[in-house]
């Protein structure tokens, strides 16, 4: 069943989109059918669509799933497309009240292609099916009452997950994917948002505004980065009655699993018994391997073992009760042969009460190969000179010498990439 058919069958009569743009589900379906009629020539072709506005984007997803053979969601113009792909001009879709019908035709088994975030390297295209993308979508009696804030770019994996969850469950979607934290919270408040999915980095930015408590949130999810115990505790304390999840998923592995016990990591017994239709294992190099119910993209064949397990390339630490994420294997900083996980250093820096946000990354060194550098966003009015000394002493107490940042940069804001994640790209020494 296509995405359009799912919504036709559901027959939602509620608002699909609210905020700066408003559109009901019936009008969104009409817009999708009109768009399909306008682009009859792309049937069974490979096309790429970019994001202009939330109504046009959602209409395009509905129109071209099951119509085109391949659907590339173009995050920006820096990701190269295969030669056979037709970039579809991004034209604004104005929903009409006039009746339109879907063009009868043989359905295409559409492959959805999404670009990896390129957090630690060059972005690449990964194929998915609608079934694999919607495996974790939850439908229940309360779904229609949810008003989801879209905080990610909808062309990214995490953003598309929010869009599909909202559309298929009959919830209302509010586009909050651009603007600073204060503007986003203002949009959420004005649109009566009660559900947010964001990276831990963005959650920290939203908390820094001091205005998040004005929202009556009932659903909070974290994903895209490691959710440490500190951010989980902070959100649980501020919204004690809300459902709080941290989600493991990636563009490569697809939909993964959700942890609902408000604890960092996941239970160790999942390694033996599995969870969410997944099988788990950890190898001697501390890589987490997952066996999903659907076959991963063929481009990942070199990361599959004979039993169908996929190397996620995420490093974990296994303890008696929990399995904790350490970071990406490709993101490890090599200091004279010693391995440093940036996330571990950030966790220590964030323990200091004056540190609001931290980003740890590598700088190339002709002597040691790489050095550890940190950008720190501190509370307003801090004595930076004194804080710098305190942070070095704090790191020396909890980290090995090679893990301690050799350079602390105090910044007004900590930069994130288009996926809302902290950038891990290495810089050259100046």
What pLDDT, in 10s, does the model give residues 292-342?
887 777 778 888 999 999 999 999 999 999 999 999 998 899 999 999 999
d(CA 362, CA 340): 9
**Three-state SS at 105:** coil
* Domain of residue 391, CATH code: 3.30.300.30
Does 104 fall in a domain? yes
When mean pLDDT is compared across 106-120, 220-234, 269-283, 352-366, the lowest value belongs to 106-120
- Using left for φ > 0, alpha for ψ between -120 and 50, and beta otherwise, residue 192 falls in left
Pair 72, 195 in one domain = yes
Give the residue with greater pLDDT, 249 vs 104: 249
In the chain, % of residues over pLDDT 70: 92
d(CA 266, CA 207): 25
Does 111 fall in a domain? yes
Does 250 fall in a domain? no
Pair 51, 196 in one domain = yes
- Using left for φ > 0, alpha for ψ between -120 and 50, and beta otherwise, residue 336 falls in left
d(CA 267, CA 287): 16
Domain tally for the chain? 2
pLDDT attached to residue 135 = 83
Residues 340, 343, 346, 351: what is their CA dihedral angle, to the nearest 10 degrees? Answer: -110
User: Domain ends where: 203, 223, 243?
Assistant: 223
pLDDT attached to residue 215 = 97
Does 366 fall in a domain? yes
Burial status of residue 154 (CB atoms within 10 A of its CB: 0-12, 13-18, 19 or more)? buried
pLDDT digit string, tens, across residues 262-293: 999 999 999 999 998 899 999 999 999 999 88
Strand-strand pairing, 111-115 and 125-128? antiparallel
Q: What is the mean pLDDT of the chain?
A: 89
Pair 338, 214 in one domain = no
pLDDT attached to residue 106 = 63
pLDDT attached to residue 105 = 52
Q: Taking Cα atoms as reference points, which of 339, 335, 286, 292 lies closest to residue 314?
A: 286
User: Domain ends where: 160, 193, 223?
Assistant: 223
Pair 219, 355 in one domain = no
The first and second tokens of residue 140, run together, are 């229940």
pLDDT attached to residue 428 = 57
Does 215 fall in a domain? yes
Among the residues of 11-53, which ranges form H helices? 25-38
The first and second tokens of residue 186, run together, are 């203002």
pLDDT attached to residue 91 = 46
CB within 8 A of 355, min separation 6: which ones? 349, 376, 377, 378, 379, 391
Report the alpha-carbon angle 330-332-337, nearest 5.
120
Q: Domain of residue 18: give its range.
A: 3-223
Residues 86, 299, 63, 42: what is their CA dihedral angle, to the nearest 10 degrees? Answer: 30
380 has a pLDDT exceeding 80 = yes
When mean pLDDT is compared across 26-40, 87-101, 369-383, 395-409, the lowest value belongs to 87-101
User: Domain ends where: 223, 251, 274?
Assistant: 223
Alpha-carbon distance values, 210 to 186, 189, 245 (Å): 12, 13, 22
Does 407 fall in a domain? yes
* Domain of residue 34, CATH code: 3.40.50.12780
pLDDT digit string, tens, across residues 196-223: 999 999 999 999 999 999 999 999 999 9
Does 216 fall in a domain? yes
pLDDT attached to residue 120 = 53
Does 308 fall in a domain? no
Pair 219, 84 in one domain = yes
In the chain, % of residues over pLDDT 90: 68
Say if CB 349 and CB 374 are below 8 A apart. yes
Q: What is the rounded average pLDDT of the residues 393-401?
A: 96
Q: What is the DSSP letter of 275?
A: B
Say if CB 408 and CB 392 are below 8 A apart. yes
pLDDT attached to residue 93 = 44
């Amino acid at each position: 069943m296509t995405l359009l058919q799912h919504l036709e069958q559901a027959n939602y009569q509620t608002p699909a989109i609210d905020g700066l743009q408003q559109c009901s589900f019936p009008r969104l379906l009409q817009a999708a059918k009109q768009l399909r009629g306008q682009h009859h020539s792309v049937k069974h072709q490979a096309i790429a669509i970019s994001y202009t506005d939330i109504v046009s984007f959602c209409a395009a997803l509905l129109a071209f799933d099951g119509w085109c053979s391949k659907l590339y969601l173009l995050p920006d113009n820096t990701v190269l497309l295969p030669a056979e792909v037709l970039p579809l001009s991004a034209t604004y879709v104005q929903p009409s009240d006039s009746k339109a019908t879907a063009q009868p035709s043989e359905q295409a088994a559409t492959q959805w292609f999404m670009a990896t975030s390129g957090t630690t390297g060059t972005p690449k295209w990964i194929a998915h099916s609608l079934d694999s993308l919607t495996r974790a979508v939850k439908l229940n009696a309360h779904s229609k009452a949810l008003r989801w804030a879209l905080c990610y770019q909808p062309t990214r994996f995490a953003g598309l997950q929010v869009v599909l969850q909202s559309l298929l469950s009959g919830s209302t979607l509010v586009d909050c994917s651009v603007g600073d934290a204060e503007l986003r919270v203002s949009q959420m408040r004005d649109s009566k948002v009660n559900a947010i999915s964001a990276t831990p980095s963005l959650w920290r930015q939203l908390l820094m505004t001091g205005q998040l408590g004005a929202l009556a949130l009932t659903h909070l999810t974290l994903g895209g980065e490691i959710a440490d115990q500190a951010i989980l505790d902070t959100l649980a304390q501020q919204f004690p009655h809300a459902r709080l999840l941290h989600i493991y998923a990636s563009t490569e592995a697809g939909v993964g699993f959700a942890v609902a016990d408000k604890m960092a990591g996941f239970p160790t017994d999942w390694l033996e018994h599995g969870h969410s239709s997944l099988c788990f294992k950890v190898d001697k190099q501390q890589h987490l391997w997952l066996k999903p119910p659907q076959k991963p993209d063929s481009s990942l064949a070199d990361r599959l073992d004979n039993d169908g397990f996929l190397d996620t390339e995420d490093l974990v630490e296994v303890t008696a009760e929990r399995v904790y994420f350490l970071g990406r294997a490709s993101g490890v900083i090599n200091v004279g042969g010693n391995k440093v996980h940036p996330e571990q250093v950030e966790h220590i820096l964030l323990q200091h009460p004056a540190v609001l946000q931290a980003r740890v990354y590598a700088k190339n060194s002709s002597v040691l190969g790489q050095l550890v550098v940190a950008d720190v966003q501190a509370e307003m009015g801090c004595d930076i000179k004194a804080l710098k000394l305190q942070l070095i002493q704090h790191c020396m107490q909890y980290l090995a010498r090679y893990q301690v940042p050799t350079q602390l940069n105090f910044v007004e804001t900590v930069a994130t990439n288009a996926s809302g994640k902290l950038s891990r790209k290495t810089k050259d020494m100046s």
